[in-house]
Each structure stands twice: as C-alpha cells, then as structure tokens.
Amino acid sequence: LRIRIHRGTAEIGGNCIEVAAANSERIVLDLGRPLWAEWGQHIEPPAAPGFGEPDPSLLGLVITHPHLDHYGLAAELKVDVPLYVGEEAASLLEAASFFSPVSGRLKPTGFLKHRKPFAIGPFTITPFLNDHSAFDAYSVLVEADGERLFYTGDLRGHGRKKKLFEQLLTRPPADVDALLMEGTHVRASGAHDEAIFDTERDLEDRFVSLCKETPGAVVVLGSAQNLDRLVTVFRAARRGDRDLVVDLYGATVAAATRATIPQPGFDGLRVYVPQRQRVLVKKAEAFWRVEQIKQYRVFAEELAANQDKFIFHVPSSTARELIKSKALTAEGVVAWSMWEGYLKTDSGVGLQKLLAANEVRLTSVHTSGHASVVDLQRLVTALAPGKVVPIHSEAGDRFSELFATVERHSDGEWWEVRS
C-alpha cells in the first residue's frame, strides 16, 4: 500500500489522501476545501489521476464526514467518481443545500456503516462511526495487499458520542501498520498539550444555568449542522423549563437525519422563520417548507412577549433580527457556541458591537470538536500502530515529542504504509 497525502500534512483542513494498491488501483480518502480558501474562490482538486479527466484506476472516494474541509472539493468535482459517505451525512448536506449556498451536495454510490466492511476493488474499507462535531462522522480502516492503514478523520473523546471513542480504544482494529492521525490540538506551543475540554454534558449544565438565571431570552448562536450541540441545547431547554426555538434551516437539517434528533413534533420545540428564509421560500415557491412546520411555528410577537420562556439555537446572522423585534433585549443573553476565532472576523466584530449597543451580555459556551492531546495519546497506545503519520495539524513537527513511532511526510510525497 502506498499513500500520498495531497493536503493536510502541514495545515488543518483540506484533507485529501490518495491510497494505491500494488496493482495501481487507487482510492481517495476525503477531498476537502482548504480552510484558507475564501468563499467563492475556485480551488482546483489535487493533481491525482481521475480528478481532472476520468481515470479507471481511481475506484472510489470515501468522505469521512460532512465538514467542508473534508468534502468541499468533492461536491465540485466535474468527473464522476464513485463516492462513499454516511447516509445521514449525505441527507444532512442535501437538506442544508437549500438554505446554505456554501453547503455542497454529494451523490453517493454507497454508504458507510459502523464496523461493516465493504470492498472497493482490492481495498476493504471498514468504517468506524466516531465522536465529532460533524454528524455521522467516521474513521476508516483500509486494507489491501495484506497491509492496514487506519485514518482517524476528525474525532474527539468528549462529545455526546464519547462512548464510541472509548469503544475504539477497547476494541481497536488489530495490526495497524500506519495510523494517519488528526492533530488539531497539537499546537506549536506545548502549553496546550495538557488541555482538557468541557464535555457536551458540561455545556448542557451551563445552558441550564443560563435558562434559570436569565430574565430574558437565551440565544445560543451556533451551527445548524452541529447536531450534537442541538441535542445539548434541547436537553438544557427541557431541564431549564423553556421552549427551544430553531430556525427553518435548523429544523430541516435535524428532520433529515434521524428520529432521535430534536425536530419539529418534539414537545417544547418551536420553529421561527427569519426574514431571509421567508424570502428564500418565496423565491423558490417552496411554500410546503413553511406549511409543514405550521403547527410549531412561533412569531416575533410571541417571542417578544415571553422572552424568559425561550432558548434559541440559531445562526449568528439571526441576532440582529431578534434584537429588532425585541425578542432579545438587555434582559437576555447571547451564548456564543462556535469556535471563538469567528468572533474576531469582520462579522464577529460587528455582532459584538451590535450586542454592546443594545446592552446584551455575550458569553461563550463551546467545546472543541477535536480530541485533546491526552486522548490522542490514549488512541495511539490502544492501536499501537507500526507508525503514526500526522495530518490535519499545524504542528506536525511536535508529534514525535508526544507519540511513539512518528513518521512525518509532506504534501504530495508518496510513501509506503509498511516499510
């Protein structure tokens, strides 16, 4: 088995890994958009045969999870390559595409299922459902020619599905020759190595406190596609004796996954349709979208008259409208529930000014979608691979200080899984 990482050995995001068997047949794991790419900026797919022109030796593309930095370029491919992804991940992206122009759509050939091996030519792929901030995310074991590669994708051990991480440690794949491991939290500075992150349970408790101590609305600003967080906020709403309000985008994405995810029809879940979504629906004449949530719909007047009865899980772009309609006032609080770095962007700074001008308190309630260094060390110990190769990290040079048997490679370089 030979590997060529096209992108990811020296940066977080844009993952793309080409895997070649002895007979020269190939598969590719992830085909992400780099995180540094601007919205709308065209990025060429990596220079692997089969991405520009059709090439029969490229047998398939496996997408580990529905984050743009792992699937983004796959959604833009001009050639047809058989594509494998989680079934719920695919329906989530399909549902999101109506609302979010940056969200791509995939046309899957087959679906990944937890610990169910399947064949693509000479390759046997075994997906391992994992704990990550993206829904329906997998790590994958790739076997061919008697050699074994394990690729973590993105994962963590402190989310709502942390049992899956523990299961990976107690029942790991055997005889892994190479572990291609994400290192989002391996940083240039060692000060971060010991960091331990809040669990989604911890966040739930903090949201409950906010519900209880806030005389106005609790507005959680997060990603509609982070369903772990949606579950966390919904549970907090029940415990804090408030109704959860999501927007039409959030409601649609949640309903596209599985019946256990909070969605319209759940007791105490209401749907607010912001102005820009009303316009979208009207333009597309997709009135059924509003019709089907009619029973659960909540309007600005009710929100404004009962501020202390609601907690929201909505995108940051909705804050302005909630302030304008007096659903969110100085009595309320905004909980930032995304990466804090976004607060430093132009729109983040604009939001902070808006909140300050309206005397709305801003607090941060978030936890990482990626494993701590401590959990990565536990993973390496459990798998005891022949070698550990860094990916999805800005500090691959620090891996050898933290893990045994590290072997670094550069973007574009071919290397052997077993050597």
Residues within the interface to Zn ion (CB under 5 A)? 67, 134, 154
Torsion sign (Cα): 80, 82, 86, 87: positive
DSSP reduced 3-state for 262? coil
DSSP reduced 3-state for 48? coil
Q: What is the token pair recorded at 278?
A: 């009303």
399 to 9, 151, 393: CA distances (angstroms): 11, 16, 9
CB 134 to Zn ion: min, Å = 5
154 or 177: whose CB is closer to Zn ion? 154
253 or 281: whose CB is closer to Zn ion? 253
Neighbours of 291 (CB within 10 A): 10
CB 56 to Zn ion: min, Å = 31
Contact 144, 122 (CB under 8 A): yes
CB 34 to Zn ion: min, Å = 13
349 to 209, 354, 355: CA distances (angstroms): 26, 9, 10
Q: How far apart are CA 281 and CA 286, in angstroms?
A: 5
Q: How far apart are CA 202 and CA 261, in angstroms?
A: 19
134 or 245: whose CB is closer to Zn ion? 134
Half-sphere exposure of 367 (CA within 13 A, CB side): 26
Helix axes 248-255, 227-239, angle to 10 degrees: 110
134 or 338: whose CB is closer to Zn ion? 134
Q: How far apart are CA 242 and CA 224, in angstroms?
A: 19
CB 8 to Zn ion: min, Å = 12
67 or 185: whose CB is closer to Zn ion? 67
67 or 161: whose CB is closer to Zn ion? 67
187 or 320: whose CB is closer to Zn ion? 187
Query: In one letter, which amino acid is 282?
Result: K
